């Protein structure tokens, strides 16, 4: 019995349009134009208890609308949604009592209060019995190393410290479900690792169901076995990360550090997609050209200092997924399993990750 | 923990927060006292030049002035959360309120208990003390009780206005100032005896927003003087009840607004 | 001149976007005007003695006060307040422009743009709509040609004076805690002595005489009475002299003070 069930969710917004310039502003006094945005266009998925699911998509794709609907804040226009047997927006008080939410960009703690006092106020708001509160609080303080921070007013905390306190605050009432929205944004490397480690253990050891909304692909790769991608109100992909990759492209990349002063590799089945001094990056389809064969060819013709094979970065995968979906939406036929050729266009369009010049024949 | 106890917890937290900035707090309280004190000077100047206003003397007017000043000072201290609600809708704080298993109005009231408003409270108390010390008032036990009851009625009415103002934030966050006409205009209106105004204006503050009624009518009863409007004594004594009734209606409007917000999203 | 015009235009455009806010503000001020006029009307009817200010002039005074409320130096620009508090004012110091002049221009924009937006509809309402509503005795009477001209000139001077005071307020914000206190003090003082609270002529004679010599009378009271003919044409020059005199004095004070304020901020490293 899944813990979270969503079926054909539909939600549309009306947005007033602003006209530019002084004359447009004066005209805006008389009449306003509106356009309709379909934030959710038939979204369906289900999540079992204890899963750690990543939820990604471009801005405006419908991520926050989905989360708000699941939280019970928003009432959708159509579709079905049940969380632990309840309809979130119909039984808000009971529903949110079992929900923890962390927003990366704003804290729910009281700005001028010492952290521990915020915790106590939350205990009263959530009506947590003293004994249960004390146990949860002590565990969280230990797990997140908050001991030294308890008496510090929230406004004096660093971002990393605040995030750890926000995590604890969201879990004081022991909710079985946790929504995380950009939890590692702006954090330094050490704090990011700490937060990820905590969330992973939370899910594995406590069986807390976690829905992670983020733009940080490292978070996704580190934490999520399952990823849902939303674009323009529709779920584009829902499944294991490897499957997502495979769906978009079989492409893999071979990066070589040349040592022969030429700075160029000419392989017919493996075009250069990036070049930075002596470092050359080739894209190839491992099903047509096995990696071992490609390496053999390159090393036999060039002197090299180092090489490695990798997957294209997740950002590129996602960008191609959106591009394909946009093309589909605009009516053209798109080959979504783009080979090495299609890769350049999408990469240039998305501007993802290129540090050197894009490949060009000599 | 039930609603009242939670509110007291909120209040304690808010007060302690503000006490951290002690110097600024004192300065602001004194500042508010001065600003409101200057208002009294203006009224005094008018009376010293004209002697009376339509048959009402300065001590009599001071009763209305003091009561409404105290009522507004207390409401203003309680209602900061409602006042900034427009900003909360804009920046998403409302969503955080909806994520908590508590009523939204309770959380808004608990947002802040603004101490510096005590400056106006002091002004109101001084003016009221002056009014109540007038030898022309024949005191009785019920009359003594009527003073805080009338003030409470006015507080309910003011809170109702603030709730209505916050409710309109569900539809527009830009036009909230509309309500200032009734709130701040209402304060100025309530400072003077109701009969001095034109009948259509009186009607607004008697039958629609009972701010005039909850202060003037009990005030007349306390002063024990004839009422130019001819209201029966029973009505004068029951008038404060219009306050809670108005507040109840405004809370209904609030629920409608909240439902609208949740259906249309943000 | 160009950049200053651009600032005013930008603010004007921003205000137009919020049409609901504009209407709401208009409504509130009209309502307030009603309350005030009714109170004065009641006082005027309570005695047979001749008032110092004829009622039609009083009504005009009230409406002018509401229409031109934004010109009064009774509050501080929240943007500047935030800028000083956060220390971002340091960026202002990096600009190749006279800081006092920049802040003065800011104050001018902040006071002028909303005034234009509010004054025109309020004038329309109080001059033309009121008689149509059956309340001609409350209306804003149109001025004589000479009075109108004098008003335009003294209003411009009033604006200059008000911005000098406003800039002074902003400068005092650099002394944090005491700055806040001074702003509150000034709010009380301004509402009392500018004519915002009650028209100055209604004060007892001695108080009134004193107040007209203070700078704040030049911000509202004096120009309003020029408008309604309460100041004879010959004396308009004297009014103008008082306004400009105070303006120059306060600008000088402001320039001196801002130097000290900057040095203080730099020393504090804030």
pLDDT in tens, C197-241: 788 888 888 888 888 888 888 888 889 989 988 888 888 888 899
What are the boundaries of each domain within chain C? 2-268
**Whats the size of chain B, residue-wise?**
266
Note whether A106 and A168 are same-domain residues. yes
Is B99 in contact with A99 (Cβ distance < 8 A)?
yes
C86 contacts chain A (CB < 8 A): no
Instruction: Report yes or no on A182 lying in a domain.
Output: yes
A134 touches chain C (CB under 8 A): no
Query: Are A238 and A254 in the same domain?
Result: no
Please tell me whether residues A254 and A241 are part of one structural domain. no
Phi-psi region of C254 (alpha: psi -120 to 50; beta: other; left: phi over 0): alpha
CA distance A171 to A154: 17
- Is pLDDT at A344 greater than 80 in this prediction? no
DSSP string, C11-69: HHHHHHH-HHHHHHHHHHHHHHHHHHHHHHHHHHTT--SPPSS-HHHHHHHHHHHHHTG
Given a cut of 70, whether residue A359 has pLDDT beyond it is no
Interface check B208 vs C, CB under 8 A: no
CATH of residue A214: 3.40.50.300
Binary contact (A121, B10; C-beta < 8 A): yes
Chain A hits for C9, CB-CB cut-off 8 Å, are 22
- Give the alpha-carbon dihedral of B208, B210, B211, B214, to 10 degrees: 170
Same structural domain, A158 and A235: yes
**B140 — contact with chain C (CB < 8 Å)?**
no
Task: Please check whether residue A168 lies inside any domain of the structure.
Answer: yes
Instruction: Print the domain residue range for A287.
Output: 249-362
**B168 has a pLDDT exceeding 50:** yes
ipTM: 0.91
Q: Is residue A168 located within the same domain as residue A276?
A: no
Mean pLDDT within A106-129:
94
Query: pTM above the 0.95 mark?
Result: no
Residue of chain B whose alpha carbon sits nearest to that of C202:
B46
Structural domains counted in chain A: 2
Q: Which of A68, A116, A172 to mutate to probe the B interface, most B CBs <10 Å?
A: A68
Residue keyed to tokens 């779920």: A235
Residue A189 lies in a domain: yes
**For testing the chain A interface, which of B100, B255, B261 should be mutated: the one with the most A CBs within 10 Å?**
B100
Q: For chain A, how far is it from start to end, CA to CA, in angstroms?
A: 60
Average pLDDT, chain A: 83
How is residue B91 written in tokens? Answer: 């920046």
For the cut 70, the answer to whether the pLDDT of residue C178 exceeds it is: no
How confident is the model over C37-44, as a mean pLDDT? 93
**Do A82 and A224 have their domain in common?**
yes
| pLDDT single digits (tens) C105-138 | 989 999 988 888 889 999 999 999 998 888 888 9
Detail the DSSP E strand segments found in chain A: 4-17, 33-47, 52-56, 78-83, 99-103, 177-181, 209-213, 226-231, 234-240, 252-258, 272-276, 279-284, 304-310, 357-358
Does residue B179 contact residue B100 with C-beta atoms inside 8 Å? no
pLDDT digits (tens, 9 = 90+) for C139-150: 898 888 888 899
Can you give the pLDDT at residue A360?
33
Does residue A238 share a domain with residue A155?
Answer: yes
pLDDT for residue A139: 94
Residue contact A22–C19, C-beta within 8 A: no
Structure tokens at A115: 């952290």
pLDDT of A334 above 70: no
Cross-strand pairs, C250: none
Q: Is C48 on the interface with B (CB under 8 A)?
A: no
Boundary-marking domain end, from A245, A262, A278: A245
Highest mean pLDDT among A154-158, A318-322, B250-254, C247-251: B250-254
Q: Which one of B35, B175, B185 has the shortest CB-CB distance to C21? A: B175
Q: What share of chain C is helix, strand, coil (3-state, %, to 5)?
A: 80, 0, 20
Q: Is pLDDT at B247 greater than 80 in this prediction?
A: yes
Mutate to test the interface with B, among A15, A18, A74, A175 (most CBs of B within 10 A): A74
Supply the pLDDT for residue A4: 93
If asked whether residues A227 and A253 sit together in one domain, one would say no
Which residues of chain B does C137 touch, with a Cβ-Cβ cutoff of 8 Å? none
- As a whole number, mean pLDDT of residues B60-69 equals 96
CB C100 within 8 A of CB C254: yes
Chain centroid to CA B194: how far?
17
Q: What is the pLDDT of residue A7?
A: 93
Domain boundary among A245, A266, A283: A245
pLDDT at A352 over 60: no
* A329-336 LR contacts (CB < 8 Å, sep 24+): A329/A232, A336/A247, A336/A248
Are A89 and A118 part of one and the same domain? yes
Distance from CA of A210 to the nearest CA of B (A): 16
Taking the Cβ of residue C18 and every Cβ of chain B, the question of whether any pair is shorter than 8 Å is answered with yes
Pick the last residue of a domain from A245, A269, A298: A245
Specify whether A331 is located in the same domain as A188. Answer: no
B122 CB-near residues (< 8 Å, 6+ apart): B33
Question: B136-145, C35-44, C69-78 — which is least confidently predicted?
Answer: C69-78
């Amino acid at each position: 019995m899944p813990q979270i069930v969503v079926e054909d969710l539909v939600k549309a917004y009306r947005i007033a349009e602003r006209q530019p310039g002084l004359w447009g502003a004066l005209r805006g006094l008389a009449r306003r134009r509106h356009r309709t945005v379909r934030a959710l266009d038939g979204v369906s998925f289900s999540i079992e208890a204890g899963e750690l699911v990543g939820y990604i998509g471009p801005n405006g794709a419908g991520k926050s609308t989905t989360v708000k609907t699941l939280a019970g804040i928003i009432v959708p226009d159509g579709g079905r949604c049940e969380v632990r047997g309840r309809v979130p927006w119909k039984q808000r008080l009971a529903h949110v009592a079992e929900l923890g939410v962390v927003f990366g960009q704003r804290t729910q703690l009281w700005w001028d209060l010492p952290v521990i006092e915020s915790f106590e106020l939350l205990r009263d708001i959530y009506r947590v019995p003293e004994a249960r509160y004390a146990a949860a609080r002590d565990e969280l303080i230990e797990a997140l190393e908050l001991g030294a921070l308890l008496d510090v007013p929230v406004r004096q905390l660093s971002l990393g410290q605040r995030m750890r306190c926000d995590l604890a605050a969201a879990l004081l009432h022991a909710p079985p479900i946790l929504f995380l929205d950009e939890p590692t944004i702006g954090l330094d490397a050490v704090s990011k690792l700490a937060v990820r480690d905590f969330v992973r253990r939370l899910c594995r050891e406590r069986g807390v169901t976690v829905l992670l909304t983020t733009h940080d692909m490292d978070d996704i790769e580190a934490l999520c076995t399952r990823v849902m991608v939303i674009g323009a109100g529709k779920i584009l992909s829902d499944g294991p990360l490897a499957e997502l990759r495979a769906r978009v492209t079989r492409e893999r990349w071979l990066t070589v550090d040349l040592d022969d002063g030429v700075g160029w590799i000419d392989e017919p089945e493996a075009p250069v997609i990036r070049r930075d001094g002596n470092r050359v990056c080739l894209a190839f389809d491992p099903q047509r050209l096995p990696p071992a064969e490609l390496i053999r060819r390159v090393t036999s013709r060039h002197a090299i200092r180092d090489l490695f094979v990798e997957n294209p970065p997740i950002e590129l995968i996602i960008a191609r997924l959106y591009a394909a979906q946009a093309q589909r939406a605009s009516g053209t036929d798109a080959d979504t399993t783009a080979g090495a050729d299609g890769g350049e266009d999408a990469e240039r369009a998305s501007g993802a990750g290129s540090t050197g010049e894009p490949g060009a024949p000599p | 923990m039930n609603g009242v106890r939670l509110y007291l917890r909120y209040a304690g937290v808010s007060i302690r927060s503000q006490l951290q900035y002690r110097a600024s707090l004192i300065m602001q309280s004194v500042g508010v006292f001065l600003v409101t004190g200057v208002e009294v000077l203006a009224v005094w100047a008018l009376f010293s030049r004209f002697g009376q206003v339509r048959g009402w003397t300065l001590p009599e007017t001071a009763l209305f002035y003091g009561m409404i000043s105290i009522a507004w000072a207390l409401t203003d201290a309680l209602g900061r959360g409602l006042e900034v609600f427009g900003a909360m809708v804009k920046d998403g704080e409302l969503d955080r309120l909806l994520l908590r298993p508590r009523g939204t109005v309770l959380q808004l009231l608990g947002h802040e208990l603004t101490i510096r408003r005590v400056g106006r409270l002091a002004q109101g108390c001084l003016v009221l003390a002056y009014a109540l010390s007038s030898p022309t008032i024949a005191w009785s036990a019920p009359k003594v009780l009527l003073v805080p009851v009338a003030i409470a009625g006015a507080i309910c009415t003011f809170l109702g206005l603030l709730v209505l103002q916050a409710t309109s934030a569900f539809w527009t966050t830009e036009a909230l100032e509309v309500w200032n006409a009734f709130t701040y205009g209402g304060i100025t209106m309530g400072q003077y005896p109701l009969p001095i105004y034109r009948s259509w204006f009186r009607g607004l503050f008697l039958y629609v927003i009972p701010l005039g009624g909850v202060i003037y009518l009990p005030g007349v009863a306390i002063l024990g003087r004839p009422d130019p409007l001819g209201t029966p004594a029973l009505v004068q004594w029951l008038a404060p009840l219009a306050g809670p009734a108005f507040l109840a209606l405004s809370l209904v409007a609030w629920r409608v607004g909240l439902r609208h917000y949740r259906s249309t999203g943000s | 001149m160009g950049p200053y015009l651009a600032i005013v235009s930008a603010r004007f455009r921003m205000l137009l976007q919020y049409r609901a806010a504009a209407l709401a503000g208009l409504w509130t001020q009209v309502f307030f005007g009603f309350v005030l006029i009714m109170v004065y009307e009641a006082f005027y009817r309570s005695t047979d003695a001749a008032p110092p200010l004829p009622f039609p002039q009083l009504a005009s005074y009230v409406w002018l006060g509401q229409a031109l409320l934004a010109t009064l130096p009774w509050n501080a620009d929240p943007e500047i307040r935030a800028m000083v508090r956060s220390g971002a004012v340091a960026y202002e110091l990096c600009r190749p422009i006279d800081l006092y002049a920049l802040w003065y221009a800011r104050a001018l924009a902040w006071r002028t743009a909303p005034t234009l937006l509010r004054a025109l509809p309020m004038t329309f309402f109080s001059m033309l709509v009121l008689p149509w509503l059956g309340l001609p005795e409350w209306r804003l009477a149109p001025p004589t040609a000479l009075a109108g001209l004098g008003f335009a000139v003294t209003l411009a001077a009033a604006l200059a004076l008000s911005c000098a005071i406003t800039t002074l307020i902003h400068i005092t914000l650099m002394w944090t805690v005491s700055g806040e206190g001074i702003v509150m003090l000034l709010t009380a003082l301004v509402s009392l002595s500018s004519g915002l609270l009650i028209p100055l002529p209604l004060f007892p004679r001695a108080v009134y005489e004193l107040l007209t010599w203070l700078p704040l009378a030049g911000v509202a009271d004096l120009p309003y009475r020029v408008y309604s003919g309460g100041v004879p044409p010959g004396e308009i020059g004297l009014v103008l002299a008082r306004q400009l005199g105070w303006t120059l004095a306060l600008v000088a004070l402001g320039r001196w003070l801002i130097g000290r304020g900057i040095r203080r901020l730099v020393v504090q490293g804030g």
